[in-house]
Structure 1
Amino acid sequence: MRSLLLALFLVLAFHRGEAAVSCNAVVGDLYPCLSYVVQGGNVPANCCNGIRTLNSQAQTPVDRQGVCRCIKNAIGGVSFSSNNLNNAQSLPAKCGVNLPYSISPSTNCDR
């Protein structure tokens, strides 16, 4: 499971979005969160720093939609257990960040 997630993140690292915040930046900012999503436990500080950075960079609707799509593609292409998905969904709140979308494969990034 972990190697599959790593492979997915690496593939996304080479994908460029149309928004000012590229999928490469999304992957770089969220990569420190991978251990928490897979294993739970304590959220790494550099994970929260990445979430905050990403949130502050994605100021326009186009940027937020692009980030949302990158995240959605990352989690939608992998068979997450419900525990992994719950961990991913809890990250913004645990880091004190209010995202305008939910981290979920069913999120509509166009809204």
Structure 2
Amino acid sequence: MAAMIKKTCMLFVAAVLVTMVAVVPRGEAAIGCGTVVSYMKPCLPYVTGSGPLGGCCGGIKGLNSAAKTTPDRQSVCACLKSLAGGVNLGKAAALPGQCGVNIPYKISPSTDCSKVK
């Protein structure tokens, strides 16, 4: 089971990195998907249904603090959106509220990240 989660996570990371090359305009500072994955890694067991919330809130709060600019927030949004596959979307969307963090968009595959300010 752990090996399958690890392979799935690595596949998501690869897909996210490829996606981000196309999404983030060159020359604008933005948080990369590797950074997003690092912050969100503690949430993986919870959103895949294999573990508790655990240290997830620390990652969410840290990521929210790091995303200071509009390009940062749009980049984080795009990364989260692309990571949504294979997770419980209800749990993922509820994470900010559970952790007491207010973000300007819903974590969902249907979110238009270009409209995030």
TM range (shorter): 0.7 to 0.9
Report what 2:105 is aligned to. 101
* Percent of aligned pairs sharing the same letter: 45
2:10 to 7, 13, 24: 7
Bigger Rg, which one: 2
Report what 1:28 is aligned to. 38
Report what 1:43 is aligned to. 53
Question: Does the CA-based 8 Å contact 1:12-1:24 persist in structure 2?
Answer: no
- In structure 2, C-alpha distance between the alignment counterparts of 1:108 and 1:20, rounded to whole Å: 17
1:57 to 66, 69, 86: 66
RMSD: 2.3
In structure 2, what residue type is equivalent to 1:38?
Answer: T
Superposed structure 1 runs of 4+ greater than 2 Å apart: 1-5, 7-10, 12-20
Question: Does the CA-based 8 Å contact 1:92-1:99 persist in structure 2?
Answer: yes
Structure 2, unaligned runs of 5 or more: none
Deviation at residue 59 of structure 1 after TM alignment? 1.0
Structure 1, unaligned runs of 5 or more: none
Deviation at residue 5 of structure 1 after TM alignment? 3.5
- 1:46-89 CA deviation, whole Å, 9 max, x = no partner? x11111111011111111001001111111xx255xxx110111
Q: TM-score, normalised by structure 1?
A: 0.80
